[in-house]
């Protein structure tokens, strides 16, 4: 039970840090232009692709990725433990994570437990630390996701991945340590069965869930964090205490990408499954009007908001706040996103212009690890690249924040 007390205390401490961390002046710049394809001093080059072969036993699937990126995974796991140890300096928490977390968590659903064990063994990082690394993604995903439909009925689904806001401010160079250290972990993944792509994802090495992915030609899916008093850490506590009927959100989205066969099927799975943490699921399909934001509580679905291009609702924007509520006043990414989409117009929405919007501050911010832009599924079928390119940026220009 000491572990539970730790989780509760850590969550409370982080909530405080959250409010402090956001005390930056609200800042909005003019909508950017011509930022795509990315280049310049802050561009770190393309993200590497890896194939995850679903025909292999789960234990073996991540070996190649982890073999290449063990030092980077080690680095980030150390950051997270350093942060926890800053709150609980006795070192007891590390000991607990290493020795007791694996047993306390009991059985993770197939195939995740085996995959995580494989990652721990290949990297030589203790299993408990890999598990806690996977838990952190359930709690700290700050992002902006957009779905927009152009006049031809093509859907563009794009997202910024902001991650690590609470996780360590580096006084020396004014950067968020965890965000910085996550950038080199960014990978593009091609999940295959029978040598055929089942879905593609952009993710962080060492994490077995999926926060951003697309089934080429069928649907695309991104996940954003939703805050709530009955929040994610409560779900994780209950899970540890043995109530196992709720799914980890990043595991549900991975399952949907792997096994849902259509936009409608994906939507149903995302609406109906009980989940450990509240979330927003942003889903795009392969025809005009197929795009929605699903607002989820752990057990309920208060809202499903759909595109209605014929009535002029040609885009949906989701940050980390319910659409019927005002965003936290220091973190209003919604309004500038609306403004830039309005300025771009439906005629001119494209991969490049969506990327411009993601590159505009404060939609672009210091905790952004990367951005992904994707053409969901060309309306007309073949011939057009169905890709989810992702880019990693270095720290955005400090002078602008």
Q: Which residues are catalytic?
A: 143
Burial of 270 (0-12, 13-18, 19+ CB in 10 A): buried
Q: At closest approach, how far in Å is the CB of 112 from ligand NAG?
A: 7
Whole-Å CA distances, 278 to 236, 248, 251, 299: 12, 10, 14, 9
Give the nearer residue to ligand NAG in terms of CB position, either 145 or 253: 253
C-beta separation of 266 from 290 below 8 A: no
Report the Cα–Cα distance between both ends of the chain, in Å, rounded: 42
In 3D, which of 143, 144, 151, 145 has the Cα closest to residue 349?
151
In 3D, which of 15, 7, 81 has the Cα closest to residue 237?
7
The residues near 9 (Cβ < 8 Å, ≥ 6 apart) are 87, 88
Q: Go through the chain and tell me how many residues it has.
A: 401
Number of residues that bind ligand NAG (CB under 6 A): 29
- Token pair 């109906």 is found at 272
Q: At closest approach, how far in Å is the CB of 264 from ligand NAG?
A: 7
Q: At closest approach, how far in Å is the CB of 324 from ligand NAG?
A: 14
How far from chain centre, in Å, is Cα 137? 7
Select the residue whose beta carbon is closest to ligand NAG and give its number: 262
338-357: contacts with ligand NAG (CB under 6 A): 338-339, 342, 345, 347-348
Q: Does 172 bind ligand NAG (CB under 6 A)?
A: yes
Q: At closest approach, how far in Å is the CB of 94 from ligand NAG?
A: 21
Q: Which of 13, 335, 346, 352 binds ligand NAG (CB under 6 A)?
A: 335
Q: Which of 173, 242, 325, 399 binds ligand NAG (CB under 6 A)?
A: 173
Give the nearer residue to ligand NAG in terms of CB position, either 96 or 327: 327
- Whole-angstrom distance, CA of residue 89 vs CA of residue 83: 10
Q: At closest approach, how far in Å is the CB of 377 from ligand NAG?
A: 6
How far from chain centre, in Å, is Cα 373? 13
Q: Which of 61, 102, 108, 111 binds ligand NAG (CB under 6 A)?
A: 111
How far from chain centre, in Å, is Cα 40? 25
Give the nearer residue to ligand NAG in terms of CB position, either 18 or 54: 54
Q: Which stretch binds ligand NAG (CB under 6 A): 130-138, 197-205, 337-345, 366-374?
A: 337-345
Q: Which spans of this chain sit near ligand NAG (rule: CB under 6 A)?
A: 55, 110-111, 170, 172-173, 175, 180, 194-195, 217-218, 254-255, 258-259, 262-263, 286, 335, 338-339, 342, 345, 347-348, 377, 381, 395
């Amino acid at each position: 039970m000491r572990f539970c007390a730790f989780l509760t205390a850590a969550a409370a401490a982080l909530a405080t840090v959250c409010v402090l961390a956001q005390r930056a002046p609200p800042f909005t710049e003019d909508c950017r232009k011509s930022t795509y394809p990315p280049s310049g001093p802050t561009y770190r080059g393309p993200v590497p692709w890896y194939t995850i072969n679903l025909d292999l036993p789960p234990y073996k699937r991540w070996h190649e990725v982890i073999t290449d990126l063990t030092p980077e995974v080690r680095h980030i796991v150390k950051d997270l433990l350093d942060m926890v140890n800053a709150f609980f300096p006795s070192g007891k928490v590390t000991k607990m994570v290493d020795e007791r977390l694996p047993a306390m968590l009991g059985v993770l659903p197939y195939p995740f437990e085996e995959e995580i064990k494989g990652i721990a063994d290949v990297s030589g990082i203790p299993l408990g630390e890999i598990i806690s690394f996977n838990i952190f993604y359930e709690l700290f995903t700050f992002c902006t996701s957009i779905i927009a439909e152009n006049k031809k009925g093509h859907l563009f689904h794009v997202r910024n991945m902001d991650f690590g806001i609470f996780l360590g401010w580096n006084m020396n160079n004014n950067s968020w340590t965890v965000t910085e250290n996550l950038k080199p972990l960014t990978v593009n993944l091609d999940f295959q069965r029978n040598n055929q792509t089942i879905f593609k994802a952009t993710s962080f090495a060492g994490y077995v869930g999926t926060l951003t992915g697309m089934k080429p030609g069928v649907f695309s899916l991104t996940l954003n964090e939703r805050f709530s008093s009955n929040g994610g850490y409560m779900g994780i506590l209950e899970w540890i205490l043995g109530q196992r009927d709720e799914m980890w959100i990043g595991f549900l989205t991975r399952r949907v990408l792997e096994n849902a066969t259509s936009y409608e099927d994906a939507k149903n799975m995302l609406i109906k499954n009980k989940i450990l943490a509240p979330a927003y699921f942003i889903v795009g399909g392969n025809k005009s009007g197929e795009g929605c934001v699903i607002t989820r509580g752990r057990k309920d679905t208060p809202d499903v908001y759909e595109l209605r291009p014929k009535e002029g609702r040609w885009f949906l924007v989701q940050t980390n706040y319910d659409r019927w509520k005002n965003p936290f006043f220091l973190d209003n990414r919604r309004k500038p996103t609306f403004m830039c989409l309005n300025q771009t117009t439906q005629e001119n929405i494209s991969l490049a212009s969506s990327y411009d919007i993601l590159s505009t501050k404060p939609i672009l911010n210091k905790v952004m690890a990367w951005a992904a832009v994707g053409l969901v599924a060309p309306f007309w079928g073949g011939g057009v690249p169905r890709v989810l390119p992702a880019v990693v940026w270095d720290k955005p220009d400090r002078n602008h924040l």
